[in-house]
């Protein structure tokens, strides 16, 4: 029955999640951490071992009296998943094994200068080459998490915005890529994917946090007890379009004073370009798809002690701090993670200023000292999250349910049938 199958798939997902996060666990530990009964765990583990997804790897030496508990781990080579993040200025591809370990990655130029058709064809080609180089058989790849800025229509696999150009609006991104690579493709928001990746692979001290994502633009993500907040149609958390107190700059969204318009890499680069001497001194060029490269030059100048670069980045960081205050006040959070390629060099500067703003202004500051961390996968967090989303979602999608038609095909091929009769 569907009911029973869903419950079984959920149990399997919880077991796989726990093993992915912890490396090895005994059945007793799995029961404790999942709050499921030992009988349910034993049954689920048996099915996962039979399916070749989990294996026993020895006994727990820490234990006291009695038979030592057998330890379990994921079979890393059972399946793979791909995460592809496309941005106006960069493309990142990662391949994860079933245990969530990165087995290959590639960084390429962004989609800013090419239309969607050309971009998707290039992605298919690069992905094929990367899988061959990494010796990952395509038949063992569950699918691709395609990660872009929003707003998106995830069900139809399309962008609902004319960024970076009008031809991207409602272009069938996932459908076209699926046709080229023969694998299911799930569309995901970049900041949401980064939050997801940070939660499941970032080694954070908490599973409840907000994330500020800074690529060419600024996005946000929120995870509460390990689950990503999605809102009505997965187009949360648009922190780049929070109007800042005192902000004036016109924004692509039509408003003024948005965080992205005041503090985003493009705004910082524009301020440098407005002063030709400064631009020359910092090596900032203003190429249309070079925003992140230019921003990195400014960040390097900050690190070398340039006072003007420092002033510009500090101003940006204080604005981001104000946006982070709105994030923690509205979502009731005490941890903020900074992720995205713009933080690769400047992460520490932003961390300090965002923390200072939160300590000065967050409503909960009197209850709990807010904590700000730079992602441990700062530049590939989003692509990693896209791949992890595939690992956690695709295999267990119940046929006939859920938003993605392609997921159904994968679910039907999945070695654990989830439409069996009740036991």
Task: Say how far apart CA 10 and CA 25 lie, in whole Å.
Answer: 18
Give the H/E segment covering residue 187. Answer: strand 185-189
CB 89 within 8 A of CB 289: yes
Chain mean position to CA 67:
41
185 neighbors 177 (Cβ within 8 angstroms):
yes
Nearer to a copy of itself, 117 or 332 (CB): 332
CB of 366 to a copy of itself, least distance (A): 8
The DSSP secondary structure of 210-233, one letter per residue, reads EEEEESSSEEEEEEETTEE--TTT
User: Distance (Å, rounded) from C-alpha 28 to C-alpha 37?
Assistant: 9
Other beta carbons less than 10 A from residue 393's beta carbon: 21
Rounded to the nearest 10°, the torsion over CA 318, 363, 201, 143 is -90
Minimum distance between the CB of residue 109 and a copy of itself, rounded to whole angstroms? 28
- Least Å from the CB of residue 125 to a copy of itself: 32
Residue 229 CB, nearest approach to a copy of itself (Å)? 7
State the minimum distance, in angstroms, from the CB of residue 1 to a copy of itself.
5
Cβ at position 173, least distance to a copy of itself in Å: 17
> Taking the complex as a whole, how short is the minimal distance between the CB of residue 303 and a copy of itself, in angstroms?
31
- Choice between 239 and 312, CB closer to a copy of itself: 239
Kindly tell me the number of DSSP H helices and DSSP E strands found in the chain.
14, 15
* Residue 252 C-beta: closest distance to a copy of itself, Å: 10
Q: How far apart are the C-alpha atoms of 97 and 140, rounded to whole Å?
A: 10
Q: Classify 193 in phi/psi space as left (phi over 0), alpha (psi -120 to 50) or beta.
A: alpha
Cβ nearer to a copy of itself, comparing 287 with 363: 363
- Smallest gap from residue 54 Cβ to a copy of itself (A): 20
Nearest to 258 by CA among 268, 275, 239, 243: 243
The dihedral region occupied by 16, where left means phi > 0, alpha psi between -120 and 50, and beta the remainder, is alpha
Closer by beta carbon to a copy of itself, 244 or else 299:
244
Complex with a copy of itself: residue 239 or 338, whichever CB lies closer? 239
Q: Which is nearer to a copy of itself, 262 or 294 (CB)?
A: 262
| Residue 97, beta-bridge partner list | 80
Query: Which residue lies nearer to a copy of itself by CB, 62 or 245?
Result: 245
Indicate the helix (H) or strand (E) that contains 391: helix 381-393
Q: How far is the CB of 220 from a copy of itself (least distance, A)?
A: 7
Pick between residue 244 and residue 342 the one whose CB is nearest to a copy of itself: 244
- CB-based burial label for 183 (10 Å; 0-12, 13-18, 19+): buried
d(C-alpha 92, C-alpha 100), whole Å: 17
- φ, ψ of residue 393 to 5 degrees: the values are -105, -50
Question: Nearer to a copy of itself by C-beta: 48 or 218?
Answer: 218
User: Under the rule (CB under 8 A), what is the footprint of a copy of itself?
Assistant: 1-4, 7, 35-37, 39-40, 151, 160, 208, 220, 224, 229-239, 241-247, 253-257, 322, 325-327, 329-334, 361, 363-364, 367
Q: What is the DSSP string of 37-63?
A: -HHHHHHHHHHHHHTTSEEEEEE-TT-
Quote the least distance from Cβ 301 to a copy of itself, whole Å: 30
Residue closer to a copy of itself by CB (options 171, 331) is: 331
Q: Which is nearer to a copy of itself, 134 or 224 (CB)?
A: 224
What's the CA gap between 237 and 189, in Å, rounded? 10
């Amino acid at each position: 029955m569907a009911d029973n199958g869903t419950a079984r798939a959920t149990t399997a997902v919880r077991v796989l999640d726990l093993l992915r996060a912890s490396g090895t666990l005994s059945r007793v530990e799995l029961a404790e951490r999942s709050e499921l009964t030992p009988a349910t765990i034993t049954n689920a583990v048996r099915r996962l071992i039979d399916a070749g997804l989990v294996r026993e790897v020895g006994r727990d030496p820490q234990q006291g009296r009695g038979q030592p508990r057998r330890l379990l781990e994921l079979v890393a080579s059972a399946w793979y998943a791909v995460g592809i993040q496309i941005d106006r200025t960069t493309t990142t591809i990662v391949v994860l094994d079933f245990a969530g370990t990165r087995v290959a990655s590639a960084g390429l130029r962004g989609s800013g200068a090419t239309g969607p058709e050309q971009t998707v064809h290039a992605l298919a080609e690069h992905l094929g080459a990367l899988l061959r180089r990494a010796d990952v058989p395509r038949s063992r790849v569950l699918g691709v998490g395609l990660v872009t800025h929003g707003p998106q229509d995830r069900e139809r696999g399309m962008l609902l915005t004319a960024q970076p150009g009008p031809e991207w609006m409602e272009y069938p991104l996932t459908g076209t890529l699926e046709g080229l690579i023969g694998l299911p493709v799930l569309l995901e928001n970049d900041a949401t994917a980064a939050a997801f990746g940070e939660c499941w692979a970032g080694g954070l001290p908490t599973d409840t946090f907000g994330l500020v994502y800074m690529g060419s633009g600024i996005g946000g993500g929120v995870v509460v007890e390990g689950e990503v907040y999605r809102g009505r149609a997965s187009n949360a958390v648009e922190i780049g379009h929070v109007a800042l107190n005192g902000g004036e700059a016109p924004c692509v969204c039509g408003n003024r004073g948005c965080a992205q318009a005041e503090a985003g890499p493009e705004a910082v680069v524009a301020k440098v370009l407005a002063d030709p001497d400064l631009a020359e001194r910092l090596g900032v060029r203003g190429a249309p798809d070079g925003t992140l490269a230019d921003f990195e030059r400014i960040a390097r100048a900050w690190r070398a002690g340039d006072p003007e670069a420092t002033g510009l980045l500090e101003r940006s960081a204080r604005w981001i701090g104000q946006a982070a205050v709105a994030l923690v006040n509205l979502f009731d959070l005490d941890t903020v993670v900074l992720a995205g390629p713009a933080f690769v060099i400047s992460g520490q500067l932003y961390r300090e200023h965002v923390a200072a703003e939160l300590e000065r202004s967050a409503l909960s500051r009197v209850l709990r000292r807010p904590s700000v961390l730079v992602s441990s996968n700062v530049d590939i967090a989003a692509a990693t999250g896209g791949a992890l989303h595939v690992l956690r979602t695709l295999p267990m999608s119940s046929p006939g349910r859920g938003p993605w038609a392609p997921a159904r095909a994968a679910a039907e091929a999945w070695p654990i049938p989830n439409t069996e009769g009740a036991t």
